[in-house]
Chain A
Amino acid sequence: MPLMLRRPFFWVITAVVAVFAFLPALGDNVQLRESLALATIYITLASNLNLMLGYAGYINFGSIVFFGLGGYICIWLTDAHHASLILGLLAAGLGVSALAFVFGFGILRLRGPFFALSTIGIVEGVQAFVQNFEPWGGSAGIYVSPEVFAPLGGPARALWVIYFALVGTMGLSLYLSYGIKISKFGLGLLAIGQNEDAAAILGVPTPRYKAYVYSASAFLPAVAGGLYFFKSAFIQPADAFDLSLSTEALVVAMLGGQGTVTGVALGAYLYEELRGYLLVSETFSHFQLVVAGMLLLLIVLFFPSGLMGFVYSRFPRIKKVLE
């Protein structure tokens, strides 16, 4: 950790988090808060996806499962069992991480494309489970009574508390991404992404590292899911496992530049702004997936290293400050 404090990029992250926290709070600007809240969720999902995609080179089409399951666990604990929000969030993060760890050892024995296919299966499997699981309301979902907001000082104040928690989750995601990147663990992951066989021969414990990173990439999205669904006070399978969100996380990570911390955060912010613009315009609001798909296709075909790849090739020095 002290090593991290001496790096300039650590302070860049801290500054970004501070701006996110103070900007809407300064003018009590609720509209800005809602727009930034969405951006924090995109950044959280995309940075954690990036741990798999950008570092270890494994595509996870099912990152939304972490978000949705986290939401369910948190809502279920706070609503049916009257747990406090913090307890619900912790349980969501730890529970989903543990689940991912167990699953990870199974499916991470599959390499490359086969792993990606099995993550599609995980989405279907978890969704089918939740739809049939009566304590979680089956396909009707769970409505939360407004009383759960009481410990946070009523609904209006609760929204601010949740927003700051979301910003915190985003900050932790960025620190986690960066911390892993500069660690020995991260070096092992990058080696796996380059050539898994060679990494294994050089002594990287590949199955264990992959399971660790899969599990680590589950924690914060689960917390974000808990906060998001607690905020909307309602959860149902169709929203919790909305395929488009996990797709967008993928688009965002590729847009900004997989494997970079700044790029992914920047991509998430830009995509959120673009999406807001498209939703307002009449013609595009129904064709959000089309736009996301087109964007992804263009990036994959022509700019596989994303925004940061372009910036790095133009200004190689910037790599020292923005990682």
Chain B
Amino acid sequence: MLGILASIIDGVLVGLVYGLSAMGLTLIWGVMDVINLTHGTMIVGGMFGLYLLVTAAGVPPYVALAPVLVGGFLVGVALYWIAVHRMVGRPPLMSLLSTFAVNLVLIGIGTGVWGTALFNVAVSLPGITIGRYTFPGAHILAAVLAAVIAAALYLFLHRTRLGKAVRAVANNREAAELVGIPTVRVLAVSVGCGVALAGVSGLLIGTLFPFTVLSGDGYQLKGFVVTVLGGFGNPVGALMGGVALGLLEGAVTPFVPVSWTLVIEFALFVLVLIVFPNGVFARRGGL
């Protein structure tokens, strides 16, 4: 019984990181109704950013957060101009295809350069031991950092001028444009933030688990599950959805082989979409 409790706590710690990644997905959806299918690959980008900075440049793992955050933002802005800008306002299927195409290119380059070998960044931090169970330090720190970054995003959206502009555009783009908000710039910033969040959460996941170029698929699917749990376009809901998914994973892992967890999560995804089309943690209004 205690073992299950420990597994659940660990699941919640990891779930906070999933929530952070889903915030990036849901931010882009909320602002411009675009589903970013490069999300999983951007997560992998964060992982490889971590790997390269730690092994090649000798940067301590958690210091690598800053360059990955900035790099992710720049990549996101580039992604906006390449694949999203012409798609805004067109049927959502078109942006789905365009981001899917960019994802193929990135995956192709990634597998061409690194193959599909397993990479690992060893992070040794003292854990916290309670009774017979030890919670790894990396898991705790990743969860804390995820919560801090999520809080920072919340403050950005609610307290800064640019953040308020992002929310205004999400709410009603035409009205925002009428009151003088430079909507195109705001859209580019939103995609930048979304991708930066994917990269940072990828870095945090990279400190926990080994990864390959193709790891992104699974995390992207988790991102979608979390996003529908939290309600599309709702960052706070996404964080709660992440915790909920982590809770579920923690409760399920002791009983089910690992390869089935994705199937269970996918079933959950379809079920939630059908039963709660607005998300379990939905609230009214935009971002």
Contacts and interface: CB of A to CB of B under 8 A. Distances in A.
A binds B: yes
Interface in A34-82: 57, 59, 61
B270 A110 contact: yes
A201 interface: no
Interface in A96-126: 106-107, 109-110, 112-114, 116-118, 120-122, 124-125
Given A114-B273, A118-B269, A290-B108, A129 B263 contact: yes
B108 A59 contact: no
Nearest to B94: A300
Contacts of B108: 287-293
A293 B221 contact: no
B107 interface: yes
B266 interface: yes
A10 to B, nearest CB: 31
A65 to B, nearest CB: 13
A51 B101 CA distance: 21
Given A290-B112, A294-B105, A57 B266 contact: no
A113 B260 contact: no
Contacts of B91: 112
Interface in B97-112: 97-98, 100-109, 111-112
Contact of B102 (A118, A124, A293): A293
Interface in B196-252: 217-218, 220-221, 224
Interface string B249-282: 0000000010110110011011001100000000
Interface string A121-135: 110110011011000
B92 A132 contact: no
A52 to B, nearest CB: 11
Given A124-B221, A293-B104, A106 B270 contact: yes
A112 B93 CA distance: 7
A155 interface: no
Q: Which size class do A's interface residues fall under?
A: 35 or more
A301 interface: yes
Given A106-B270, A107-B270, A290-B105, A113 B262 contact: no
A110 B273 contact: yes
A59 B92 CA distance: 11
Contacts of B260: 128, 132
B104 A125 contact: no
A95 interface: no
Contact of B97 (A117, A128, A288, A296): A296
Nearest to A129: B263
Contacts of B273: 110, 114, 118
Contacts of B266: 118, 121-122, 124-125
A296 B101 contact: yes
Contact of A300 (B35, B101, B274): B101
A215 interface: no
Contacts of B98: 297, 300-301
B270 A118 contact: yes
Contact of A116 (B93, B109, B220): B93
A125 B105 contact: no
A113 B224 contact: no
A57 B98 CA distance: 16
B185 interface: no
A210 to B, nearest CB: 14
A134 to B, nearest CB: 12
B283 interface: no
A319 interface: no
A287 B109 contact: yes
B31 interface: no
A259 to B, nearest CB: 13
5 contacts: A113-B92, A116-B35, A118-B269, A129-B263, A290-B112
